[in-house]
Amino acid sequence: MSAQQTFEEAVAEYIEQTRALMDQEVMENLPPDPPSPIDQSGPPFEATLRLDERTIRNYALSIGDDNPLFTDPEYGKRSRYGSQIAPGPILALIRYPSAHGAKRPQGYPLANFISGTAWEFYDVIRAGSKFRSSKVTKELLEREGSQGKLVFLISEVYYHDFHGDMPAKCYGTQIMVPQRSMESSRAVPREKLGQHMMYERKASQYTEEQIQEYVRQIEGFPHRGAEPVGLLAAWLPHGRFRCAEQQLADLVLPPERTTQLAFEAAFDEPPGTEVENCFVILRVRWRGEGRVRWRGEGRVRWRGEGRVRWGEEAWRVMARLTVTAGGDGAPLAAARLVTAHRVGFSG
């Protein structure tokens, strides 16, 4: 473009060119060029990173998660997964989960930051896995912020392993923020450096006492992977797939164990009908204070000064389902996403 292009014209061009890229493969985070040994064909494109045992362990510890499923290969081999597994978001290292829109040699006058991601997992991520990926921008939204226009880019990334399966999918949101100080390119003129930042607020600072308190909390965080989960109650809240709350007061799930819950659900839909966003909601307790002894199919007896005592960790687990009416009208449920939050958590 001409050097005389204005800031407004550059932003308008960026939005127009980015809209033209919707539903096309995002040409970012691609394999290195030859003579690298990485396959150049795609999409989906081969990733250079291999998720070996050390990489998984280091990633887990870097995010403060010492679950032995992630950090101890031998523990993983004895688990029901048969191998060490990885925290799901490690796939962001395989391919960055958001896109930046249109490009040109001098760039466009927009700063950017990743706003968030949402993951869907269809299988665990096992040590030794290799991946291919495909990334597509699906939506561009314009919104007004406190400092003017914001451009939201919403992308989808599909992660395929070398067995041909797709164990995960990620939705990423990148926010592009037009910066007048950049004029009509990505670079800020040297004489304007530091005059105007994206945000006017100062960076957060911590006292030495606050730092030591955070260190104390981190070091005191209990080791994951060895505590049972107490299942207290479960219910189905959707109006077209409903069941009242069922109490499960004496059911505890030991580590690496599974159980089945049966519901008598209200469901009256014609065969073939799909009902989206149904939920199973569980109230659970994690890390009980009393010592636990389990036997049989997960039925346990808690001991603690002669009575049952639970810790303070109250959680809510939500499984989002798609429910389809079968040929005889019976509901067939498929889980799409599972999340867990402490009771009282928001955000």
Give the model's confidence band at 36: pLDDT under 50 very low, under 70 low, under 90 confident, else very high.
confident
Q: What angle do CA 110, 114, 115 make, to 5 degrees?
A: 110
Average per-residue pLDDT for the chain = 84
- Rg of the Cα atoms in the chain: 25
218 found inside a domain? no
Same domain (yes/no): 181, 253: no
Q: Looking at the structure, tell me whether residues 36 and 158 fall in a common domain.
A: yes
pLDDT digit string, tens, across residues 263-287:
888 899 999 999 988 999 998 887 5
Q: Are residues 143 and 284 in the same domain?
A: no
- 175 with 68, same domain: the answer is yes
Task: Give residue 194's pLDDT band: very low, low, confident or very high (50, 70, 90).
Answer: low
Question: pTM of the full predicted structure?
Answer: 0.64
Residue 216 domain-assigned? Answer: no
Higher pLDDT, 42 or 19: 19
Q: Which residues, other chains included, contact 300 with Cβ-Cβ below 8 Å and sequence gap of 6+?
A: 228, 250, 252, 254, 292, 293, 294
Confidence of residue 257 (pLDDT cuts 50, 70, 90): confident
* Owning domain of residue 334: 229-342
> Which CATH number does the domain housing residue 173 bear?
3.10.129.10
Q: In terms of domains, do 175 and 245 share one?
A: no
User: Are 166 and 281 within one domain?
Assistant: no
Sequence length of the chain is: 347
pLDDT of residue 263: 86
Q: Among candidates 24, 177, 171, which has minimal Cα distance to 92?
A: 171
Give the pLDDT mean for 224-247: 85
User: Does residue 3 register a pLDDT over 60?
Assistant: no
Average pLDDT over every residue of 24-38:
87
Domains identified in the chain, total number: 2
The verdict on residue 324 lying in a domain is: yes
Residues 162 and 299 in one domain: no
Classified as helix, coil or strand, 165 is coil
167 and 235 share a domain? no
The verdict on residue 211 lying in a domain is no
Q: 121 pLDDT exceeds 90?
A: yes
Give yes or no for residue 198 having a pLDDT over 80. no
In which residue are the tokens 């250079």 written? 48
- Same domain for 133 and 39? yes
Same domain for 109 and 36: yes
Same-domain pairing of 331 and 244: yes
**β-sheet with 274-286: strand ranges across:** 291-295, 299-303, 241-253, 229-238, 274-286, 313-325, 331-342
Please tell me which of 33-47, 150-164, 263-277, 301-315 the model is most confident about, judged by mean pLDDT.
150-164
Please choose, from the candidates 182, 60, 48, the residue with its C-alpha nearest in 3D space to the C-alpha of residue 109: 182
